[in-house]
Amino acid sequence: MNKAPLDDLDRQLIDMLAQDARVSNRKIAADLGVNEGTVRGRIKRLQQDGLLAFTAITSLDLDRDIRIAFIGIQADIENIRDVARQIAAMPIARAVMIVAGQFNIMVTCLFTDLGKFHHFAADRILAMPGVHHIETSIAVSAVKYNSRIVRITEKAALDGEDAD
């Protein structure tokens, strides 16, 4: 599908939905000065193009046992994309990014069981061909956490505890 470029109306629509995803199409249309059919059509197109999705974002406070961890990975240049794809397929990995800096892959994880997290990092990632070094960090306090930084990805398993 050929994705249409975003215009000002698309951006305003996305901003309104980012503030309150439950706002009605009628209210959006009234606030933006367009008809409800235009809003409905724009939302449908943005969803079909993979630029907009609706989901429930839960607070990290919902589960006091949940922890955020980061894994910096140094991998051979020729293996970076393959390693990143393999890690991205594992449910405990919530974000996998190819980065520039000390590491060339950065992974964000949510976990409740330190043993399973250790298994994921040491036994799964470090054992991958082409991976030379990893460093893990566990968040001890969240000063600011903005759930709007999440990105739309392919549907994945939601069980972050299954490190296998």
Comparing CA positions, the residue from 153, 96, 144 lying closest to residue 120 is 96
Residue 136 lies in a domain: yes
CA–CA separation, 160 vs 137, rounded Å? 17
Question: How are beta strands 67-75 and 131-138 bridged, if at all?
Answer: antiparallel
Contact call for residues 68 and 139 (beta carbons, < 8 A): yes
User: Computed over its alpha carbons, how large is the radius of gyration of the chain?
Assistant: 19
Q: Which domain holds residue 99?
A: 60-149
Based on the fold, state whether residues 65 and 33 are members of the same structural domain. Answer: no
Query: What pLDDT does residue 34 have?
Result: 95
Q: Which of 8-17, 67-76, 101-110, 152-161 has the lowest mean pLDDT?
A: 152-161
Query: What pLDDT does residue 142 have?
Result: 77
Query: What pLDDT does residue 72 have?
Result: 97
The pTM for the full model equals: 0.65
pLDDT band at 163 (very low <50, low <70, confident <90, very high): very low
Residue 42 lies in a domain: yes
Q: Which residue has the higher pLDDT, 12 or 53?
A: 12
Based on the fold, state whether residues 64 and 141 are members of the same structural domain. Answer: yes
Q: What is the CATH number of the domain that holds 111?
A: 3.30.70.920
pLDDT band at 80 (very low <50, low <70, confident <90, very high): very high
Q: What is the CATH number of the domain that holds 34?
A: 1.10.10.10
pLDDT band at 51 (very low <50, low <70, confident <90, very high): confident
CA–CA separation, 126 vs 119, rounded Å? 10
Based on the fold, state whether residues 36 and 81 are members of the same structural domain. Answer: no
Contact call for residues 125 and 106 (beta carbons, < 8 A): no
Query: What pLDDT does residue 56 have?
Result: 63
Average pLDDT over residues 127-134: 96
Based on the fold, state whether residues 144 and 72 are members of the same structural domain. Answer: yes
Residues 62-94: b if buried by 16+ CB within 10 A, e if exposed: eeeeebbbebbbebeeebbeebbebbbebbbbb
